[in-house]
Amino acid sequence: MKILVANLGSTSLKYRLFDFSSGQEKLLTRGGYERVTDYPATIESCLADMKKGGFIQSDSDLAAVGFKTIMARNVNGCVRLDEKVLKAMEFYNPIAPAHNPPYITGVRLFAQKMPNTPLVGLFETAFYQFAPEAAMRYAVPEAWYEHGVRRWGFHGASHKFIAERSAEMLGRNDVAERSRQLYVNNGATPVQKPNLRVISCHLGGSSSITGILNGAAIGNSMGLSPQSGVPHNNRVGELDSFAIPFVMRTMNLTIDEVEKQLCKESGLKGLSNHSNDIRDVQAKGADGCAKSKLAIDVYIQNVRHWIGSYFLQLNGADALVFTAGIGENRPELREAICAELDQLGIMLDPKLNAQTKAVEAVISAPESKVKVMVIPTNEELVVAREVKRFLEKQ
């Protein structure tokens, strides 16, 4: 069974092709296109590349195309992306303006190109379906809640990968297996007994922290929208809701201007007044730029805030995991995030930390009660596995 997973941005298309034939789980090929202007032609090129490489003979060799979709009204889990679901995604365009529209457009184009191939989405919100209600509610009027104003949680596929992989690395295959079973549409419920507490830090262009108990998420730093929680590259992160009416009234900003500024001109970019890439911000900070240094400090402060929150909710932690672009590649940020946490049992091994980039490793000192780990994430594999499970149930 061959499953293509397509990662759609507004001007990018990345893909991975998996083969699940005869019990294996193999990445056949991967590729991507940046600065896409003609999406239909790019889909065509993607299919042509896979044929040229001999990975598929024709489009019909693909059992399905899987997508890491973000959110939809009254839809969660792993579902077929028909027009009804795409409409339900459209409803949340204002909450996920950078994410939902490119998926909706891209999926419609795939549907035109491959009308007989199932197009299946695994929603990023799916991993939080077992989180306690109290962790997912805002204190707003009930009508708002019924309209969808609640915490949803995102980066579900990535944190799900970390839930399984960290359990395996800790020798807890029982929890990894439970986590694998425990996902969407399969009626499983989380188990309380085998106590394994993991805090997963997905730190990248966008960042979120998740607490994981026995393979199931108990919450996520992102709430209603993927703009919330920790500051992101150019998106705001946590903000007191009263800031919005305040700036609209006193700075005469329109709602569209506010949305654009929170979405495109905030986060690391807003704080540093310079760049949305942490590498540039760090380099400028090291050169003495006070705003850039502050941007990094705010980021670190926010990551520590959420780690602290889940450390408390989980009554400690067995593992603290770093993943994604920043988490996997920036030892100096991991060091700053873990600084002076020895009383909580979190102690890095400076040498192991410094030498670990984009590979799986334990980077804590032997005496650290909490194992600190780096695990490169594999969101596409999680999507492909769920799409396979979805197809098998049809």
Tokens matching residue 260: 């654009």
Task: Give the residue at shortest CB distance from ligand ADP.
Answer: 325
Measured from the CB atom, is 175 or 278 closer to ligand ADP?
A: 278
- Please give the size of the binding site for ligand ADP, defined by CB under 6 A: 12
Site for ligand ADP in 56-85 (CB under 6 A): none
Q: How far is CA 354 from the centre of its chain?
A: 25
Q: Per-residue contact track with ligand ADP, 163 to 202, x per CB under 6 A?
A: ----------------------------------------
Q: Does 209 bind ligand ADP (CB under 6 A)?
A: no
Closest CB 158 distance from ligand ADP, rounded Å: 8
CB contact set of 74 (below 8 Å; sequence gap of 6+): 88
Question: How far apart are alpha carbons 257 and 247 in whole angstroms?
Answer: 10
Rg (CA), the chain: 21
Closest CB 207 distance from ligand ADP, rounded Å: 8
Task: Please check whether residue 380 is in contact with residue 158, taking contact to mean a CB–CB distance below 8 angstroms.
Answer: no
Measured from the CB atom, is 92 or 154 closer to ligand ADP?
A: 154
Question: How far apart are alpha carbons 190 and 193 in whole angstroms?
Answer: 9
Question: How far apart are alpha carbons 247 and 242 in whole angstroms?
Answer: 9
Measured from the CB atom, is 220 or 368 closer to ligand ADP?
A: 220
Question: How far apart are alpha carbons 144 and 152 in whole angstroms?
Answer: 14
30, containing H or E segment: strand 26-33
Measured from the CB atom, is 223 or 325 closer to ligand ADP?
A: 325
For the four alpha carbons of 56, 61, 63 and 64, in that order, the dihedral sign comes to positive
Closest CB 96 distance from ligand ADP, rounded Å: 13
Q: Does 230 bind ligand ADP (CB under 6 A)?
A: no
Longest dimension (CA), the chain: 64
C-beta atoms surrounding 252 within 10 Å: 8
Binding part of the chain for ligand ADP, among 10-18, 78-86, 257-265, 326-334 by CB under 6 A, reads 326-334
Q: Which is it for strands 207-213 and 197-203: parallel, antiparallel or unpaired?
A: antiparallel
Site for ligand ADP in 96-115 (CB under 6 A): none
Q: Does 211 bind ligand ADP (CB under 6 A)?
A: no
Measured from the CB atom, is 80 or 264 closer to ligand ADP?
A: 264
Closest CB 177 distance from ligand ADP, rounded Å: 27
Q: Does 278 bind ligand ADP (CB under 6 A)?
A: yes
Q: Does 329 bind ligand ADP (CB under 6 A)?
A: yes
264, containing H or E segment: helix 255-264
- Please report, as ranges, the residues that interact with ligand ADP according to CB under 6 A: 204-206, 233, 277-279, 324-326, 329-330
